Amino acid sequence: MWRFKGDDLAAARALVDAALESGITLFDTADIYGPDNGEGFGASERLLGRVFAADRGLRDRMVLATKGGIVIGTPYDSSADYLQFAIDASLSRLGVDHVDLWQIHRPDILTHPQEIARTLEDAHKAGKIGAVGVSNFTVAQIEALTHFLPMPLATTQPEFSALTLAPIVSGELDVAMRMDMAVMAWSPLGGGRIADPHSERERAVVAALRRVAERYGVSVTAAALSWIMAHPARPIPIVGSQTPARIRESADAYKVRWTRAEWYAVLTASREEPLP
């Protein structure tokens, strides 16, 4: 929902319907989504709230996730007072009494993880949030928060694509498997570079993806999503398209099956050096 914007309620509903009709049921938004689109803070949540208001049954057909903790000009605040405010404000904009998943968008170095844990526990007990997760946390920050939380962390949300391998290198995917956390991969198409490669490295990665895509009759972008999904941590690619046809096309990722040799060929192209 990062680019979910505008005043056209019918167009907004068409995007939601395109996802649901394709079997995509996880909707990931955030309170900060808005300013990047030239709109106000919370605009994306507010637009989705209008979609819900027009069809009260729609909310129950999805897993609704949002994020908070980014404050323009600060830039991060995970203090108890702010997180309580942020959660309530998101619920108000969305027009719902709870979200299925609430995530800290960026780590706030100045808040002790024990304070964060207490705040999330209180919101969970109050029925405002169903599960808790983190986004852009390091492995150490994930482990520190987990230590103080009475419930398990449900998700971690790193940048991950065939061009961004940090979660593999850092051990975040391994920790996710050990802790049974869902991995929500943002920017799974490398910020658009997989669709429009420029460097030699990007072209090599796309060529390796295309060889598999052509065999299954799908787009390179669908192959790129499936490459992420093939990891045993079972990452969920967060599809950012705001075009109904491309949202539907993303479901083609389920058609692809990777051999080990093909999967490692993409990894090797991205690393730009052979594996040991």
Is 274 a member of any domain? no
Is 180 a member of any domain? no
Q: Which amino acid is at 32?
A: I
Which stretches of the chain drop beneath a pLDDT of 50? none
Kindly write down the DSSP assignment for every residue of 145-181, as one continuous string: HHHH-SS---EEE-B-SSS--HHHHHTHHHHHHHHT-
Is 38 a member of any domain? yes
Residue numbers of the domain that contains 125: 1-157
Q: Which amino acid is at 40?
A: G
Is 89 a member of any domain? yes
The 63-68 sheet, strands edge to edge:
26-28, 63-68, 99-104, 129-135, 155-157, 182-185, 236-237
Instruction: Specify the residue for token string 């999967």.
Output: 263
> CA 8 to CA 104: how far, in whole Å?
29
pTM greater than the 0.75 cutoff: yes
Paired residues of 70 in beta bridges: 76
Is 12 a member of any domain? yes
> CA 179 to CA 88: how far, in whole Å?
28
State the CATH number of the domain containing residue 107.
Answer: 3.20.20.100
Decide if 96 contacts 133 (C-beta within 8 A): no
Residue from 193, 198, 187 nearest 161 by CA: 187
Is 172 a member of any domain? no
Q: Does residue 43 sit in helix, strand or coil?
A: helix
Domains identified in the chain, total number: 1
Q: What is the pLDDT of residues 188-241, one digit of tens each?
A: 999 999 999 999 999 999 999 999 999 999 999 999 999 999 999 999 999 988
Is 183 a member of any domain? no
CA 100 to chain CA centroid, Å, is 14
Is 101 a member of any domain? yes
Q: What is the structure's pLDDT at 2?
A: 93
Q: What is the structure's pLDDT at 241?
A: 87
- Residues with catalytic roles: 33
> CA 64 to CA 108: how far, in whole Å?
24
DSSP conformation class of 258: -
Q: Does residue 128 sit in helix, strand or coil?
A: coil
Q: What is the structure's pLDDT at 36?
A: 86
Q: What is the structure's pLDDT at 174?
A: 98
